[in-house]
Amino acid sequence: MRGKFSIVLLGLVFCLCISPLSHAEEQKAQFFFVVEEVVKPPMVSEFEEVSKEEFALLDEQTFPYTCYIYNTEDYTYYYVWAVKDYADIGNLMTTWGEMVKKIGLEKWQALVERKGKTLESYKYGVIRHRTDLSYVQENPRFKVEDANFMFWRFCQILPGKESEFENICREWVELDKEINRSDGYDTFVVEMGTEMPRYFWTVRGISAADFHKQQEIYGAKAADKIMALWNRTAALFKKLEDKTGWFRPDLSYIPKEK
């Protein structure tokens, strides 16, 4: 990212920035305020250090919002803030502004300048979890804390095909229940921040090898049905992009439950 950052914009970037719903609080939330930050490869260590320093300044008593951080293999980081609704995004911004004043503008500006030097670009938006389009495994094969590997499938849908696409997503859920798919997944719709309509799925794995092994097992369970449904799904895509990465609990800000 080139040029100067304003305190307002960097405040927004710092306090924002995808993956299955895995924590108790995240399970309750439907909306998420997200910032996607692309980091300069040689400056990843500095970026992560600044992020840790920033969250270390927050006071859990006065800043109760949770931020889950994920990063992909292409040096992209996602800051995902759980919010109740659009109005709560405003509350998040207000609370953040008050916290910055408490921290001190001089100290904050120093962090802003350091982080700005590590970034290539950023963008932000709002996503919504669609429980009706997600598949929950009744007896998960692993504990969430043991599975930080992440797989995302982002799909741009042909305009006007949203209803048809969502109906097909429901067919996927029914098929996965029928064949007892071993791993659950979550479906999200992007409501603001990019070209629309856009949806994505997220799946966890213990490791990359574990994830791909489970995909092979899944594909062998009902290959003909899976391929037929996939062909119908793919016919609605304008663009498809897969990413892999990790949930980063070491970078996340998760206040203790009261």
Q: Cβ distance 228 to 222 under 8 Å?
A: no
Based on DSSP, count helices (H) and strands (E) in the chain, helices before strands.
8, 8
Fold of 131-245: Alpha-Beta Plaits (3.30.70)
Stretch among 7-16, 51-60, 139-148, 159-168 having the lowest mean pLDDT: 7-16
Nearest to 59 by CA among 110, 102, 14: 102
| Structure confidence at residue 29 (pLDDT) | 52
- Residue 31: pLDDT band with limits 50, 70, 90: very high
Each domain of the chain, given as residue ranges in start order, spans: 7-126, 131-245
Which among 2-16, 134-148, 158-172 has the top mean pLDDT? 158-172
Percentage of the chain beyond pLDDT 90 is: 72
Token pair belonging to 226 = 């899976």
Q: Any idea what the Cα angle at residue 208 is, between residues 202 and 234, rounded to 5°?
A: 45
CA-to-CA distance for 162 and 144, rounded, in angstroms?
31
Arithmetic mean of pLDDT over the chain:
87
Equal fold, 7-126 vs 131-245? yes
pLDDT classification of 26: cutoffs 50, 70, 90: very low
pLDDT at 22: 41
CB atoms within 10 A of CB 46: 15
- Using the predicted structure, report yes or no on whether residue 158 has a pLDDT greater than 60: yes
Average pLDDT over residues 53-71: 89
pLDDT band at 149 (very low <50, low <70, confident <90, very high): very high
The CATH label, of 3.30.70.100, 3.90.1150.10, 2.60.40.10, 2.60.120.280, for the domain at 7-126 is 3.30.70.100
Query: For residue 197, is pLDDT > 70?
Result: yes
SS3 78: strand
Q: What percent of the chain clears pLDDT 70, i.e. is strictly above it? A: 88
